[in-house]
A and B are shown apart, each in its own frame.
Chain A
Amino acid sequence: MRSRVVYHAVDSHTEGMPTRVITGGVGVLPGATMSEKRLRFLAERDDLRTLLMYEPRGHAAMSGAILQPPTRPDADWGVLYIEVSGCLPMCGHGTIGVATVLVETGMVAVSEPETVIRLDAPAGLVTARVQVEDGRAVAVTLDNVASYCHALDEEVEVEGFGRVRYDIAYGGNFYAIVRLEDLGIPFERAHKQRMLDAGLAIMDAINTERPVVHPEHPEIAVCHHVYLEAPGSTAAHSRHAMAIHPGWFDRSPCGTGTSARMAQLHARGMLDVGADFVNESFIGSRFIGRIREVTTVGGRPGILPSVTGRAWITGTAQYLLDPSDPYPAGFLL
């Protein structure tokens, strides 16, 4: 067997969404901080990201994380999130997957009933509290970044859908929240293409007509996620399909999306500090969110959310690249 590379992975899924955790073969990426590593990786090693995420080794909804030695003394591991569309500074489902893999493969010291893991992520230090029973990671709770509701009852003209009303909130990324009833699309798998078309058209319209900018982080200035709220959703239990740029649905209930949804519900006076919020994905899997406390974000009212979810290991793999392979960086249809 000839291969240019051998990347070792522990593959997992978090409530349906894959997290391909790269545990070996990459080496130490250059950069003094994880944020710097992320920028240099995007500039210098993007072929590695696409090799691991694109076909034929991955697919349009693949996602993962590359483990690194931490760059700060208060962290256990450094983590670089990788996905089909780029490298998020922070990823909720990915953190739950990474924490589960670290516990169940013995890459951190495990204590029961709770193991606390501090991850050095490009967005900053992320703490994951892993509930451990008999060596198994049965649930992971992470405290997310300060989230806030950017605007309520916005409207935008969307080609093919007319004027669409939406709320927009931030939970690590910007999320437009739209009621499927307003779009006249049933919350059913059979209508998923129309849902995806609507989601993509809405984010396009928002980014063109009503662009958003984070008040404290002006570099965060794009909406690539649309939360398509199912009929009958409440502040205790919401169902949704999350349409994501450039054209796929989150399989999991989306950690940052759950946080943004809680910020929106809190801004509407529907969700209090400490109450459980069940957020259900398109495939029926669930995260439980909770508002830890209120805060401000750039002078606006905000929340400090936590999200609890579960992940399972699905296998181990070595990803290879034949030197003659005409797709050395994979491909995407």
Chain B
Amino acid sequence: MSSRPERVHTVDYHTGGEPFRIVEEPQPALLGEGLSVLDRREVALHDPQAQWLRALLCSEPRGHADMYGGFVVPPDDAGAHLGVLFWHKDGFSTACGHGTIALGTWAVESGRVPAPADGESEVVIDVPSGRVAAVVRTAGGRVVSARFRNVASYAVARAVTVDLPDRSVSVDIGYGGAMYAVLPASAVGLRVASADYTALIARGRQIRDTLNAAGAAQHRSDPRLSGIYGTIFTHDLTPDQGSSEPHVREAVAATEAAGGRVLWQRNVTVFADGEVDRSPCGSGTSARVALLAAAGELGDGDLLVHSSIVGSTFTARVAGHTEAEGAVAVIPEVTGTAYRVGESTFTVDPADPLVPGFVLR
């Protein structure tokens, strides 16, 4: 991005309530030959224009503190349909499940990846943490859901004591493309509900910062993936509190028909510098699957119904077993829905003093 673009076109989706703003136009500084998507993320991190464009699209007045999106970039090789650099108000993330669901839906709805009127199509996406495939289900010519198999996910640590100013809590740490600290909301006297929104943000930041200050989450082989990215607060639900979305009803019925067990949970993920995921969080759900599988609570054939703070739902299951970084790992599969909410062409008035924008939470 040698010069700032005069206008930027975006297609905006939401996945389970979480925004995903797609920039399809190529950004010249991110197009270098022979680079992997992880390399391109490093380029973006050090490119002032890429950072400026990210800030423009997720700061007010064009965005807001919880905006999320991605730049479409070339994939690592011809084995993928596209690459993507995920971003939010604080920087460029390494993995993003809700974004993967939105990108798969967008690739099919926009015709970028051909799909049958009824059936399944695979959209292969290179993201900084690896290659993921979004399997997009269509029925009657419409996208009805999208699922992805995430990178190998595993339990990093169990029952890690975190000393907060007023109490000590015990968290599990899981990796699902990014590192998450997981604990019941009740452990800090909160509920996964809008009424506790502000308190959840404060606690999430506190737990993440405390763990990172102690260096509690080192990725075993790639320091770029180290550090706790988010805090997940969980809350068990009863089946009648769960979702009635069509894709959830179908998955529950299929699991029960095959003799599997269904776990109902609500969660909220507070990530980066206090952003709150409106969706159940794809990579967070993957980390949950890994931790539940490692604890023997989620077996093969079982289903996790994972709802968010706004009541949207992903379903997830163990799709395979593997090893990663010398540890037992699972391949989680997460299913959700994404919907287009608009298209924007952002412009910048040269006289505007508030560029790229501001964040006031």
Interface window among B81-89, B165-173, B295-303, B342-350: B342-350
The 7 closest A-B pairs by CB, nearest first: A13-B61, A56-B14, A59-B64, A315-B346, A322-B339, A312-B352, A317-B344
Which of A136, A312, A320 is the one whose CB lies under 8 Å from B341? A320
Given contacts A18-B61, A55-B278, A333-B309, contact A318 B351 (CB under 8 A): no
Residue of A nearest to B354 (CB): A16
User: A56, A314, A327, A333: which contacts B194 (Cβ < 8 A)?
Assistant: A333
Residue of A nearest to B9 (CB): A315
Nearest B-chain residue to A326, judged by Cβ? B245
Contact A55 to B61, CB < 8 A, known contacts A249-B360, A317-B342: no
Nearest chain A residue, comparing its CB with the CB of B342: A319
| 7 A-B residue pairs with CB within 8 Å | A55-B278, A56-B14, A56-B18, A59-B66, A61-B64, A331-B278, A333-B197
Nearest A residue to B197 via CB reads A333
Interface size, chain B (Cβ < 8 Å) = 44
**How many whole Å from A161's CB to the nearest CB in chain B?**
18
Q: Tell me if A313 and B358 are in contact (CB < 8 A).
A: no
> Contact mask A59-73 → B, CB, 8 Å, 1/0?
111000000000000
Tell me if A192 counts as interface (CB < 8 A to partner B). yes
Interface residues in A128-152 by Cβ distance below 8 A to B read 136, 138
A327 vs B338: C-alpha distance when bound (angstroms): 11
Q: List the A residue with the shortest CB-CB distance to B312.
A: A326
A251: CB under 8 A from chain B? yes
Judged by a CB distance under 8 angstroms, whether B276 is at the interface is yes
CA A61 to CA B67, docked complex, whole Å: 13
Shortest Cβ distance from residue A316 to the other chain B in the assembled complex, whole angstroms = 5
A56 and B278 contacting across the interface, CB-CB below 8 Å: yes
Q: Which chain A positions have C-beta within 8 A of B309?
A: 333
Tell me if A234 is interfacial: C-beta within 8 Å of chain B. no
User: Which A residues are CB-close (under 8 A) to B352?
Assistant: 13, 312, 314
Which of chain A's residues have a CB closer than 8 A to the CB of B62? 11, 314-315
A2 CA / B340 CA spacing, docked (Å):
9
Residues of B within 8 A of A251 (CB): 60-61, 358, 360
Contacts of B349 in A (CB 8 A): 312-314
Q: Are B197 and A314 in contact (CB under 8 A)?
A: no
Interface centre among B12, B344, B345 (most CB of A within 10 A): B344
Most B CB within 10 A of own CB, among A11, A59, A251, A315: A315
Contacts of A12 in B (CB 8 A): 61
Q: Give chain A residues whose Cβ lies under 8 Å from the Cβ of B186.
A: none
Assess whether B198 is in contact with A283, with CB atoms less than 8 Å apart.
no
- A residues in contact with B7, CB < 8 Å: 315
Q: Does B224 interact with chain A (Cβ within 8 Å)?
A: no
Given the interface contacts A18-B61, A315-B62, A333-B197, does A13 sit within 8 Å of B354 by beta carbon? yes
A282 on interface, CB distance cutoff 8 Å: yes
Name the distance in Å between A296's Cβ and chain B's nearest Cβ.
Answer: 38
**17 additional contacts (CB under 8 A) given A55-B17, A316-B347, A322-B339:** A11-B62, A13-B352, A13-B354, A17-B61, A18-B60, A56-B14, A56-B17, A56-B19, A57-B341, A138-B351, A251-B60, A251-B358, A313-B347, A315-B62, A318-B342, A326-B312, A331-B17
Contacts of A16 in B (CB 8 A): 60-61, 354, 358
- Of residues 271 to 324 in A, which have CB atoms within 8 Å of B's CB atoms? 282-283, 285, 312-322, 324
Report the separation of the CA atoms of residues A289 and B142 in the bound assembly, to the nearest whole angstrom.
54
A282–B348 Cα distance when bound, in Å, is: 23
In A254-270, the 8 Å CB interface with B consists of none
| B12, B342, B346 — most chain A CB neighbours (10 Å) | B342
Q: Is the CB of A325 within 8 A of B345?
A: no
Q: Is there contact, CB below 8 Å, between A324 and B347?
A: no
Is B273 positioned at the interface, with any CB of A under 8 Å from its CB?
A: no
Instruction: From B110, B142, B310, B343, give the contact of A333 (CB < 8 A).
Output: B310
Cβ B351 vs Cβ A136 within 8 A? yes
Asked if residues A324 and B17 are in contact (CB atoms below 8 Å), the reply is: no
Give A324 to B354 CA distance when docked, in angstroms: 37
Q: How far is the CA of A12 from the CA of B60 in the complex (A)?
A: 11
- The reply to whether the CB of A1 lies closer than 8 angstroms to some CB of chain B is yes
How far is it, in angstroms, between the C-alpha of A13 and the C-alpha of B56 when the chains are bound?
13
Tell me which residues from 1 to 56 in chain B have a Cβ below 8 Å from any Cβ of chain A.
7, 12, 14, 17-19
A250 nearest CB neighbor, chain B only: B360
With contacts A61-B60, A315-B62, A327-B17 taken as known, whether A333 is within 8 angstroms of B278 at the C-beta atoms is yes
B347's nearest neighbour on chain A, judged by CB, is: A315
Residue B90 at the chain A interface, CB threshold 8 Å? no
Contact B354 A285 (CB under 8 A): yes
User: Chain A: which residue is nearest B309 at the CB level?
Assistant: A333
> Does B109 touch A at the CB level, under 8 Å?
yes
Neighbouring B residues of A312 by C-beta, 8 Å? 349, 351-352, 354
Distance (Å) between the CB of A9 and the closest chain B CB? 9
Docked pose: A318 CA to B19 CA in angstroms:
16
Chain B residues with Cβ below 8 Å from A319 are 341-342
CB neighbours of A207 from chain B (8 A): none
Chain A residues contacting B312 (CB-CB under 8 Å) are 326
Docked complex Cα distance between A18 and B340 (Å): 22
CA distance A3 to B276 in the complex (A): 28
Chain A residue at minimal CB-CB distance from B66: A59
Complex-state Cα separation, A312 to B61, whole angstroms: 10
Is A111 an interface residue when CB atoms closer than 8 A count as contact? no
- Tell whether A193 is near chain B: CB-to-CB under 8 Å: yes
Chain A residue numbers with a CB within 8 Å of B17 are 55-56, 327, 331
Interface flags for B190-214 (1: CB within 8 Å of A; 0: not) read 0000100110000000000000000
Q: How far is the CA of A331 from the CA of B278 in the complex (A)?
A: 10
Let me know if A1 and B60 touch, CB within 8 A. Answer: no
Q: Which residues of B contact A325 (CB under 8 A)?
A: 339, 341
**Pairwise interchain contact B340-A315, C-beta atoms closer than 8 A:** no
- Please determine whether A321 and B358 come into contact, CB atoms closer than 8 angstroms: no
* Residues of A contacting B361 in the complex (Cβ-Cβ under 8 angstroms): 192
Whole-angstrom distance between the alpha carbons of A43 and B251 in the complex?
Answer: 39
The CA of A12 and the CA of B348, in the complex, are separated in Å by 10
